A and B are shown apart, each in its own frame.
Chain A
Amino acid sequence: MTRLFKVVRIQLVNKFAVLGMPLLVLAAVFLVNMALYGVMSEPSPGGERITGALMSIYCVMLAVHLQTITQVFPFAAGLSVTRRTFFGATALVVVGQSIGYGVLLYLLNLIERATSGWGLRLQFFALPFLPQDNAPAQLLTYTVPFLFLSFIGVWVGIVFKRWGQPGVYTVVFGAGLLAGALAVAATWQEWWPSIGRFFVEQPPVALLGGYPLALAAVIAAVGYLTLRRATP
């Protein structure tokens, strides 16, 4: 157990690279958006400026934890850390970081609303499709995509360590082929109306929180099984 936390500390020995980088990118993207909308003319009354730029921090998380595997894992393995311990420590960091960022984005969202979009009617942090008064749902919705994307990054990193570049291509093409095959099957079997109904009928919390959370758990489990036979 103590060894697990030591490996967590090793992953965070260089705090800036893991914890700081996503925030730095988010801050930069936010400032650029502010500047951009600051010099643009006012929107018509009632019009909101919605940007998708919040995605940037999620993508950086994926990249950071891809590197946790490709860069820190070979180093930790060189210091005789087992795959099990390393994966456990990675999961702890990912979960902690995701919750931390989730809370942070939620708080920034509150500030954004209180300042009527930073004085520019800018919707940078807000999630327009969520009920604004449901704090737990909002927290979940901010947090879960971090988990989902981080574990995808971790798994792709593990695939790279185990099977190299061909393995990563296989996974990416495989995922594309699978999606394509499902689309063909859905069209052929005329599933689209029921698929559409499913998405409409699901509450947003389940769509953005519940299902991705379950998927993140599955990807994490697959990642661990892949790591068992990977070499550093």
Chain B
Amino acid sequence: MTAVSMRGVNKKYGNVVALDDVSLNFAENRIHGLLGRNGAGKTTIMRILTGQGFESSGSVEVFGQRPYENADVLSHVCFVKESQKYPEMFSVHHALTAASLLYENWDPDFADSLVEEFELPLKRRIKKLSRGQLSALGVIIGLASRAPLTFFDEPYLGLDAVARQRFYDLLLADYAENPRTIVLSTHLIDEVSDLIEHVTLIDAGQVLLDEDAESLRSRAVTVTGPARAVEEFAAGHSELHREQLGGFLRVTLSGAAPEHSPDDLHVEPVSLQQLVVRTTQQAADERTASGATNNKGTRR
């Protein structure tokens, strides 16, 4: 089942194209990684999917219906974002009470245990919270709401590495018990690469990758060795990146790893983060190449 589907979605702010013909699917009851650089269009996509923004053209469906002003759909959607605003006068418990009223699956015991876990002071005014505590509040609302579709937009700002790991562990444990569709937008790709089951990579308002994390992991390799041997090996493969050091060459190749490789070549799988970085760089190179002569040597 598909929880989310976008078909040919465009979004313009004046002359600025934020989304350019975006088509993507988020399957139900999976953890999706929505990846991309700052300003790539990730938040715009999530704002449209949660009815907070609206598309300029194209079709958007969440649980089979257009989300804009659709209370039936939106009551099943929770959107935790880094930039969430809270009323000046609200204390932490006001925000949690409000969320508990709106989400029918809200688990008060779970929320209490999370408040304890992240040591959040319930009576403190939200504007007095530290950046990390503010992020923790968002994370608690996102987890305890147990909304069938939950978006986390860089929910970790100000959280230290230990707290972030607790968040990933809690998310995974609760997801195992209460399966739902989770979309995680993040820059910390290495940290979540074991967590996410599906990857959507956005760059400059376009979808670069929309694939299972499993197949992506086996998708690219780096090949290191004497330049001539590497060149021979790389011929016929799609090249994402190359680094040369003296007579040695290292290239990142897309396509399944070969069954056998020459002895003088070193072949290793590419991490998700490396793949995302190289794919994004290649797309940027191609954009410059389509405008002017490309001198970066990227080729297919």
Contact = CB atoms under 8 A, between A and B. Distances in A.
B53 A231 contact: yes
B239 to A, nearest CB: 42
Chain A contact surface mostly: helix
A214 interface: no
B90 A80 contact: no
Contacts of A200: none
Interface in B64-108: 69-71, 74-75, 77-79, 81, 84-91, 94-95, 97-99, 101-103
Given A80-B102, A82-B51, A75 B75 contact: no
A78 interface: yes
A137 B281 CA distance: 72
B184 to A, nearest CB: 17
Nearest to A18: B89
By CB atoms of chain A within 10 A, which of B69, B85, B86, B94 has the most? B85
A35 B52 CA distance: 50
A229 B53 CA distance: 8
A75 B86 contact: yes
A79 B79 CA distance: 7
A76 B50 CA distance: 12
Contacts of A6: 101-102
A231 B75 contact: no
Contact of B102 (A10, A14, A229): A10
A70 to B, nearest CB: 9
A63 interface: no
Interface residues of B, number: 33
B52 A232 contact: yes
A13 B98 contact: yes
Given A10-B98, A14-B94, A82-B71, A77 B52 contact: yes
A17 interface: yes
B99 A14 contact: no
Given A71-B85, A75-B85, A78-B84, A13 B97 contact: yes
A215 B97 CA distance: 36
A74 B85 contact: yes
A72 interface: yes
Nearest to B51: A82
A9 B101 CA distance: 8
Contacts of A85: 71
Contacts of A17: 87, 89
Nearest to A13: B94
A231 B55 CA distance: 12
A49 interface: no
Contacts of A9: 101
A13 B96 CA distance: 10
A108 B70 CA distance: 44
Interface in B222-281: none
Contacts of B95: 75
B80 to A, nearest CB: 8
A221 to B, nearest CB: 17
A98 to B, nearest CB: 21
A117 to B, nearest CB: 35
B47 interface: yes
A80 B79 contact: yes
Contacts of B103: 79
A75 B141 CA distance: 12
Given A14-B94, A75-B90, A78-B84, 6 more contacts: A67-B88, A75-B87, A75-B98, A79-B98, A80-B147, A82-B70
Interface of B: 47, 50-54, 69-71, 74-75, 77-79, 81, 84-91, 94-95, 97-99, 101-103, 141, 147
11 contacts: A6-B102, A7-B102, A14-B87, A75-B84, A78-B84, A81-B102, A82-B70, A82-B71, A85-B71, A228-B69, A231-B47
